[in-house]
Amino acid sequence: MVDPLAEALADPTLSAEARQKLQNVQDVLRADAQARLISLFFEGDEPRAAVAFGDVDAAELIVVVLHGIDTDLAAFPGWAGIARRLCA
């Protein structure tokens, strides 16, 4: 199975800013067993991701965190903390 996040982080042409944003996502995924990467893609050089907290297949409720118009993955750790509290 291909890990799109690991694949993106292994790209030697990735900018330092994009790498840090992806590292933010990876750190959250490693720290929370409920966290699942749902989507990862690039809009130009900007990484975009959606992460769900909870069992997407079986849960009655999940929380999904993703980028917005004025937000990017630089703020992801803070969003993840909010999502964790909602799932608690």
The domain limits of the chain are: 4-87
Residue range 10-68, pLDDT digits in tens: 999 999 999 999 999 999 999 988 889 999 999 999 999 988 887 888 888 777 777 67
Query: pLDDT band at residue 5, thresholds of 50, 70 and 90?
Result: very high
Contacts of 40 (CB under 8 A, 6+ apart): 4, 5, 8, 25, 47, 48, 49, 50
Per-residue confidence band for 73, with pLDDT thresholds at 50, 70 and 90: confident
pLDDT value of position 78: 84
